[in-house]
Amino acid sequence: MKYLYLDQNIWIYLCQIYYGKREDQIYNQVLEKITTLTQKKKLIVPINLSNVVEIHKITNKKRKEKLAKFMVKVSQGYSFIPYPYIIDLEIIHHIKNYIKIPICSIQESAIGIGDFYLIHDGTAPKLKSKFPISEEKKEMYENVMKNKFSTQKAILKFILDDKRPKSDFKSTVREMTRISNLNLKYKDKKSRQKMRMVKFLIMTFFPRLIHWCKEYNVDTKEIVKNLSTLKEIIDFLKQFPLLYTNICLHNGIEKIPNRPYNVNDIPDIASFCFAIPYCDFVIGERFLISIARRKNLHLLYSTKLYTNKDRTKLLSDLNNID
């Protein structure tokens, strides 16, 4: 199975082609090939919560519904779980691997059908009852709930739900800008890079690592070795592709003069942090793709990266899947 990640702008472009609002011979062939490969179960094109956020920015109701229907149709309802749950997933997989517990791939755990993948960790709803119930009936009811929330109709309803709380990411942008400005106090580039990584690990990673080490009765010191040098920190981060990709993308943005964070960066980075290490093909805007290439993430994870200009190459690579 191969995995293809489409940036939101590519989804919109393909949707316009699908509904006859735009003509592009290459992208039309790309769309036809995607449809063929997904029907043959050779390709999955997952969406994620960031796509839902972007869809709700569309004010025209008909356009919003058309795009959502198109995305659910092409993705066949597949999505990958939100960023925080993937952090936990990477840590759990790392610990299990350390203590020799068999594990499946991150893709198998993080990608699936159902709105519980879009907003949760991919675990289907569990039945809670105040009254005694047999395991057989409990399993039956849970299967009913799982099937109910796994239909394309249910996923579409979830995506188009206007009552869901929305985030404009302004507070996140302010925090990222604050951290970036603090890092600028370190004149030495290596010191600046090291401090950013250390702060990131402390704020987002170590609390979750400590939690899961306790769950699996593993001493955290067995997982975290000496992290005194920049190389040791980078080598440690590389064991967690989502985290390492996150660091690289943020670091790349900080290095661009007079280019502050904006609200679109946050959901885009959250999506790319999963897509780049865990998908086979990623097509997106030149800005983040160019950063990923400069950081050699495509080489590290053997992922093929494309921008709009590379669509002929994308078509060629999709044709080679057969």
Q: For residue 86, tell me if it sits in a domain.
A: yes
DSSP E strands, the chain: 2-6, 43-44, 78-80, 111-113, 281-283, 304-306
Tell me the average pLDDT across 253-260.
74
In angstroms, the CA 56 to CA 77 distance is 18
Closest CA to 274 of 55, 123, 51, 21: 51
Tell me the average pLDDT across 184-210.
72
Instruction: Give the model's pLDDT for residue 269.
Output: 87
Domain identity same for 20 and 123: yes
Domain identity same for 87 and 53: yes
Helix then strand then coil, % of the chain, to nearest 5? 65, 5, 30
Domain identity same for 7 and 134: yes
Domain identity same for 230 and 291: yes
pLDDT digits (tens, 9 = 90+) for 24-64: 999 999 999 999 999 999 999 999 988 988 888 888 989 99
Buried residues in 150-160 as b, exposed as e (16+ CB within 10 A): beeebbbebbb
**Residue 150 predicted with pLDDT over 70:** no
Q: For residue 253, tell me if it sits in a domain.
A: yes
Tell me the average pLDDT across 247-269.
78
Q: For residue 322, tell me if it sits in a domain.
A: no
Domain count, the chain: 2
pLDDT digits (tens, 9 = 90+) for 100-118: 998 889 999 999 988 878 8
Distances (CA, A) of 153 to 149, 159, 267: 9, 10, 25
Domain identity same for 9 and 94: yes
Confidence of residue 120 (pLDDT cuts 50, 70, 90): confident
**Residue 219 predicted with pLDDT over 80:** yes
Domain identity same for 226 and 282: yes
Judged by DSSP in three states, 151 sits in coil
How much is the CA Rg of the chain, to the nearest whole Å? 21
In angstroms, the CA 294 to CA 300 distance is 12
Q: In DSSP terms, which residues pair with 281 in a beta bridge? A: 4, 304
Q: Domain residues for 6?
A: 2-159
**Residue 182 predicted with pLDDT over 70:** no
Tell me the average pLDDT across 132-142.
62
Q: For residue 304, tell me if it sits in a domain.
A: no
pTM for the full model? 0.85
**Residue 152 predicted with pLDDT over 80:** no
Domain identity same for 204 and 84: no
Closest CA to 211 of 87, 110, 106: 87
Domain identity same for 154 and 175: no
Domain identity same for 73 and 187: no
Higher pLDDT, 163 or 46: 46
Q: For residue 209, tell me if it sits in a domain.
A: yes
In angstroms, the CA 139 to CA 143 distance is 6
